[in-house]
Structure 1
Amino acid sequence: MSACSGSAAPRRAASHASAWLLVCAALAGGASLPLAAQARVKAAHPSVNVSTVLPQSVMIGLQRAHVPLSSISVVIEKVGDRTPIVALNAGKPMMPASTMKLVTTYSGLSILGPDYRWRTNAYADGTVDANGVLHGNLYIQGTGDPKLVPEELIDLVQKIHKAGIRGIDGALVLDKRYFDPSTRDLPPFDDDASAPYNVGPDPLLYAFKSLSFTLTPSSDGTVTIDVLPALAQLQIDNQMRAVNGPCRGEAASVSPTVTPTPNGTLVASFAGEYSVRCGPRTVNVAVLDHSAFFAGGFLALWQQTGGTFSGATREGAVPVGAKLVATHQGPVLSDIVRDINKFSNNTMARNLFLSIGAAEEKGPATPAKSARAIEAFLRRDSIDMEYLTLDNGSGLSREEHITALSLADLLQRANASPVAQVFVQSLPIAGVDGTMRNRLTNQGAGGNAQIKTGTLRDVRAIAGYVASADGNSYVVVSFINDPHSEAARAAHDALLEWVYQGPSSGFSKISAPAAESAGVAPHGKPRKNPRKREAH
């Protein structure tokens, strides 16, 4: 008998007849689940009731966005109970966008450990004279630290100085063998090669290979331009003029023209008028290749701290006889995971993804090694991922796929694991921080939902935990793969709010269109958030 026939008798019907509901695939648009996926749902979760209804508030959001039910998958489960309350298209492989970072970060925390630190090493190959000048090469060896920013790299620079080296008359050599060359200089995901989210992974990733320019207009007609991080080869050509008058979009359109020159200088040119009323504006631009960016950043800090350098920069391996002179240990992985999930940092996720493969199968890291390592871990962790396809681990891909049911299984397992607290606390809190800070701010779910978000063209996703008003905690996963997905955020927000109100209350109390148009919560007036609970 089909699980979607409407007549399958649930074993738990006596106590859960009004609460445990399964919404099957192919209710709209004629889409059907693969037979293996249907069998998976039935075998893993046999005791579920059947319905053809989503909460009314969610249906309204989907209808307004012109998204059919065949384009959305949903799984809702009570934490600690893998029997779904809602399972729409649950076993259908979907593009998850950045919710794929949950697979990478949970696997990384479990395989490497929350206290794992990346090391960046400095080696000297030569002699140091009485004036502190290294007559030879200085080697910097990277292992993929995802957060090697100026505040971190200065530690390595200062340790090299403490080792007695004040000048270098040889070369600055970058050892990047930890990642396979095939992982570098990849084409951007889309046409915007200067967008920081498109920056690829690198063993010596520095400041996300991006410059942050801050423009500050003054009443005297000048515009001050500050930049972080400093690069030794960077020059700013400032032709900006501050003017009076209304701010009519200048703050959103200011961007430099960045031009490499034959002598190695990088010129960032700003021109045009900028209204004083626009106030300070920061624009982020990815520039150069990883090696040139790292070398420029390192040498800028080196020179700022009194170091001298007159040689060239290049890539190469640390020779056997070189002496280790300094080591910088990056932030602990638990902090890295928080940044990845709270702010959906693609580049950090990709570096972590490759680091997992290098740690498990030894370098040089490749995506294939990382995928094998993660899939092997998930099997050991008893998480069934039959339709998982990993590409770069960040979700910034149209090749990565997963089912809502599989991701719900991972969230259940993660919540019961030794890394539960670190993992759950890394997720954005609705109405509070990260990518959820501006969502559900005036709803009950605000402050009570810890949700990883994901968006790509034609993709919208949410996955995480909701602490409901009835004292229970729920796993929620939903993917929308549809050309109209961008307009469906309201449907996902409505789903989270419905879960917060308590799915065990059934579908009969879901908000009506009149209540929605009046701007009230599904069960009446908006209520104040109760004390925040975390699903551990």
Structure 2
Amino acid sequence: MPLVSFSASFRSMTARLSAGALTVALATGLTLAYTPAAVARGGGSKAESHGPKPHSAFKGKRSEHIAVPSGPLPPTVMAALARAHVPISSMSVVVQRIGAPTPLIAINATEPMLPASTMKLVTTYAGLSLLGPDYRWKTTAYADGQVDTQGVLHGNLYIQGTGDPKLVPEELIDLVDQIRRNGITGIDGGLVLDKRYFDAATRDLPAFDNDDSAPYNVGPDPLLYAFKSLSFTLTPNPDGQVSIDVLPQLAQLQIDNELHVTRGACAGSLPAASPSVSQTASGFVQASFIGDYPLRCGSRTINVAALDHSTFFAGGFLALWKQTGGTFSGTTREGATPSSARLVGTHRSPVLSDVVRDINKFSNNVMARNLFLTIGAATAKPPATPAKSAQAIQQFLRHSALPMTGLSLDNGSGLSRDEKISALSLAEMLQAANSSPVAQVFTESLPIAGVDGTMRNRLTNAGALGNAHIKTGTLRDVRAIAGYVGAQNGESYVVVSFINDPRAEAARGAHDALLEWVYEGARRAGTAE
């Protein structure tokens, strides 16, 4: 799938991109972009149609409470571990046929492990079950004061957020248009951001690995806009200039372009393509590009997390507001919406099933974190806190006969050294999800081996191509997989495996070998063929 091209003009952007188009790479670090038209279809390629389908309810006893007969790991998996110098003690594995009472393989299965992004499966399954696949977030606009005959609001415009994870330019423009249809074309009061839905303590937390500019580190916010990240597309031209386009536009953004095209070879990391983004004393945001840019490097897109959430949202909203002809002469701040303010616009997000698809296919951290907090706010009273969300999810799991021993929730995305779960607990949750009312939506949200999402480049020449719906997880010293495999014999299996080891990165082949072995029929390891 080609990388989405960006434009500095909102109108030309909407002419080229379908509604909702924006790179999920902004929040994941991936260079893959998605087209929301495909996301909305909920179907997929021919390869996807061969994946595992929901089966009848799992009625076996909980594996934690009985002896778990288990064969050893398949020889191909053991060989891959040996090549990576990873001991079997660093790996936790469960392979279980859907509907079977006990696992076929259970190695270190009850040990709490770092799951990385496979923790998103817990968050998304709980979200779909508790909120419903058709749940939508609301972003609302209120006005106080009078509107004169010229359409100027002599008062404040309030924007109230509830954590919409997919509030991108193509979505926010709907709210702007609604405000204008209500007769407001100018604002001479303040733009006030009402962010009370999430507790203030959930914002501006330290980055996971101390890299504040990494889009995957963006934290949650009730008014999350465009993943709080700028996407710059640099294109060298034969005339010696480098054009720079950006999405989203921010009203206060200025670009200082001091790039020069050279004729040399394209090699290395190309430091000139990485901007320095800073806020000036006058309130402007300046992105500076300096250096030589080889013509042979062609067009490149760089994603940078920038500013705080309120500054980013205000800049994005006002850019759209001014592009539609609106005027603004006030200041921006955070504050509560007064009860006397009147409603002038309500934007509803895409349905949760679409959001979950983005979260799992592309391992979008900030979307997962917003969903995690939304669960807490929707099932208890706002403001949301991680504790409320964790309690709501734990309670849902207990009511579903899934006590999930060893589960520790932090932010719901897996981008944490504090979130842990056992392979057996996650496997049992996947069994339950497979027989739940949200089984189809949940399963279709997972990346498909060799086809899309984070599995698009894996098992492309293997039998498992198109037959494994697998969520991946990656942290330093962690590799993880979890999901469903449709075997060539017609049976379907739950597969969960975590590798927690300093050499985990080198052991990815062990996971691919495990998935291929399951696809080929998951014969008990060590038995005769």
TM-score, normalised via structure 1 length: 0.86
Q: Secondary structure at the match of 2:156?
A: strand
Which segments of 5 or more consecutive residues in structure 2 lack a partner in the other structure? 1-60
Aligned to 1:353: 372
Is the 1:82–1:409 Cα contact (8 Å) retained in structure 2?
no
Aligned to 1:445: 464
Query: Percent identity among equivalent residues?
Result: 71
d(CA) in 2 for partners of 1:373 and 1:391? 13
Q: Which AA in structure 1 matches 2:247? A: L
d(CA) in 2 for partners of 1:509 and 1:268? 63
d(CA) in 2 for partners of 1:351 and 1:82? 35
Q: Which AA in structure 2 matches 1:43? A: H
Q: 146, 155, 169: which is aligned to 2:174?
A: 155
Q: 204, 212, 219: which is aligned to 1:185?
A: 204
Q: Which AA in structure 1 matches 2:124? A: T
Aligned to 1:520: none
Give aligned pairs, total.
469
Aligned to 1:69: 88
Is the 2:220–2:366 Cα contact (8 Å) retained in structure 1?
yes
d(CA) in 1 for partners of 2:301 and 2:126? 34
Output one character per residue of 1:46-87: Cα deviation in whole Å (capped at 9) or x when no partner: 4x5354x31111011111111111110000000122410000
d(CA) in 2 for partners of 1:426 and 1:252? 36
Output one character per residue of 1:383-418: Cα deviation in whole Å (capped at 9) or x when no partner: 121111000000000000100000000100001000
Tell me whether 1:271 sits opposite 2:293 in the alignment. no
Q: 100, 111, 122: which is aligned to 1:92?
A: 111
d(CA) in 2 for partners of 1:445 and 1:279? 35
Is the 1:40–1:91 Cα contact (8 Å) retained in structure 2?
no
Q: Which AA in structure 1 matches 2:131? A: L
Is the 1:41–1:91 Cα contact (8 Å) retained in structure 2?
no
Q: 481, 485, 499: which is aligned to 1:462?
A: 481
Which segments of 5 or more consecutive residues in structure 1 lack a partner in the other structure? 1-38, 511-536
Structure 1 42/227 Cα, relative in aligned 2: closer, same or farther at 3 Å?
Answer: closer
Which range is displaced more, 270-279 or 404-413?
Answer: 270-279
d(CA) in 1 for partners of 2:64 and 2:376? 34
In terms of Rg, which structure is larger? Answer: 1
Q: 429, 432, 436: which is aligned to 1:410?
A: 429
| Bigger relative contact order (CA 8 A; separation at least 6) | 2
Is the 2:70–2:103 Cα contact (8 Å) retained in structure 1?
no
Is the 2:493–2:518 Cα contact (8 Å) retained in structure 1?
yes
d(CA) in 1 for partners of 2:379 and 2:210? 34
Q: What are the within-5 Å matches in structure 2 for residues 81-120 of structure 1?
A: 81-120=100-139
d(CA) in 1 for partners of 2:397 and 2:348? 28
Aligned to 2:307: 288
Output one character per residue of 1:178-236: Cα deviation in whole Å (capped at 9) or x when no partner: 00000011000002110000000000000000000000001111100000000001000
Structure 1 50/186 Cα, relative in aligned 2: closer, same or farther at 3 Å?
Answer: closer
Q: Secondary structure at the match of 2:496?
A: strand
Tell me whether 1:167 sits opposite 2:181 in the alignment. no
CA shift at 1:243, angstroms? 1.6
d(CA) in 2 for partners of 1:395 and 1:451? 15
TM-score, normalised via structure 2 length: 0.87
RMSD: 1.4
d(CA) in 1 for partners of 2:218 and 2:435? 34
d(CA) in 2 for partners of 1:245 and 1:452? 41
d(CA) in 2 for partners of 1:251 and 1:271? 11
Aligned to 1:248: 267
Q: Which AA in structure 1 matches 2:345? A: A
Tell me whether 1:133 sits opposite 2:152 in the alignment. yes
Output one character per residue of 1:340-384: Cα deviation in whole Å (capped at 9) or x when no partner: 000000000000000000000110000000000000001111112
Aligned to 2:319: 300
Structure 1 234/467 Cα, relative in aligned 2: closer, same or farther at 3 Å?
Answer: same
d(CA) in 1 for partners of 2:384 and 2:64? 38
Q: Which AA in structure 1 matches 2:405? A: E
Aligned to 1:7: none
Output one character per residue of 1:281-317: Cα deviation in whole Å (capped at 9) or x when no partner: 0000000000000000000000000000000000000
